[in-house]
A and B are shown apart, each in its own frame.
Chain A
Amino acid sequence: MANDVILETRGLTKEFKGFVAVQDVSLKVRRGSIHALIGPNGAGKTTCFNLLTHFLEPTRGQILYNGREITGSSPASIARMGLVRSFQISAVFPHLTVLENVRIALQRKRGASFDFWRAEGVLNELNAKARELIESVGLAEFETTAAVELPYGRKRALEIATTLALDPEMMLLDEPTAGMAHQDVDRISALIKKAAVNRTVLMVEHNLSVVEHLSDRITVLQRGEILAEGDYKTVSVNPEVIQAYLGAGHG
Chain B
Amino acid sequence: MPRAQKIALAVMAAFFLLAPLAMYPIFLMKAMCFALFACAFNLLIGFGGLLSFGHAMFLGTAGYATAHAAKVWGFPPEFAILFGTACAAVLGLVTGLLAIRRQGIYFAMITLALAQMIYFYYLQAAFTGGEDGIQAVPRGVLFGFIDLSNVWAIYGTVFVIFMAGFLLIYRVIHSPFGQVLKAIRENEPRALSLGYDVNRYKLLAYMLSATLAGLAGATKALVFQLASLTDVHWSMSGEVVLMTLLGGLGTVFGPVVGAFIIISLENYLAQLGAWVTIVQGVIFVICVLTFRRGVIGELGSWLKKPL
Contacts and interface: CB of A to CB of B under 8 A. Distances in A.
Interface of A: 53, 55, 74-77, 79-80, 84-87, 91-96, 100, 103-105, 107-108, 110, 112-120, 122-123, 162, 166
B43 to A, nearest CB: 10
Nearest to B195: A79
Given A116-B178, A120-B176, A108 B194 contact: yes
A93 B183 contact: yes
Contacts of A117: 171-172, 175
Interface string B150-194: 000000000000000000000110111111101100110111111
Contacts of A85: 193
A94 B179 CA distance: 13
Nearest to B186: A93
Nearest to A172: B193
A123 B194 contact: no
10 contacts: A92-B187, A93-B190, A96-B183, A104-B194, A112-B200, A113-B177, A113-B179, A115-B176, A119-B175, A120-B179
A79 B192 CA distance: 8
Interface residue tally on B, bucketed by range: 20 to 34
B189 A122 contact: no
A116 B197 contact: no
A84 B193 contact: yes
Closest 5 CB pairs of A and B: A79-B195, A93-B186, A116-B177, A113-B176, A91-B190
Contact of A108 (B171, B175, B189, B196): B196
A87 B196 CA distance: 16
Interface of B: 171-172, 174-180, 182-183, 186-187, 189-198, 200-201, 204, 208
B177 A114 contact: yes
Given A76-B196, A113-B177, A119-B171, 13 more contacts: A76-B192, A76-B195, A76-B197, A76-B198, A79-B193, A84-B195, A91-B190, A93-B182, A104-B180, A104-B194, A107-B180, A112-B197, A114-B200
B301 to A, nearest CB: 13
A104 B191 contact: yes
A113 B196 CA distance: 9
B71 to A, nearest CB: 33
Contacts of A86: 193
Given A55-B189, A96-B182, A119-B171, A166 B176 contact: no
A84 B171 CA distance: 31
B176 A95 contact: no
A48 B208 CA distance: 38
Contacts of A108: 194-196
Provide the main secondary structure of the chain B interface. helix
A4 B138 CA distance: 74
A91 B191 CA distance: 9
B170 to A, nearest CB: 10
Contacts of A104: 179-180, 183, 191, 194
A80 B174 contact: no
Given A76-B198, A96-B182, A113-B180, A120 B175 contact: yes
A162 B183 CA distance: 12
Contact of B179 (A84, A91, A107, A166): A107
Contact of B171 (A103, A113, A116): A116
B197 A118 contact: no
B177 A75 contact: no
B175 A105 contact: no
Contacts of B176: 107, 110, 113, 115, 118, 120, 122-123
B211 to A, nearest CB: 11
Contacts of B177: 113-116, 118
B186 A87 contact: no
Which of A53, A74, A79 has the most chain B CB atoms inside 10 A of its CB? A79
A116 B190 CA distance: 21
Nearest to B1: A119
B180 to A, nearest CB: 5
A68 to B, nearest CB: 17
B288 to A, nearest CB: 20
A171 B200 CA distance: 25
B187 A116 contact: no
Given A75-B193, A79-B194, A95-B186, A119 B180 contact: no
Contacts of A120: 174-176, 178-179
B193 A53 contact: yes
A118 B175 contact: yes
A165 to B, nearest CB: 9
Which of A86, A91, A94 has the most chain B CB atoms inside 10 A of its CB? A91
A166 B189 contact: no
B186 A94 contact: yes
Contacts of A93: 182-183, 186-187, 190-191
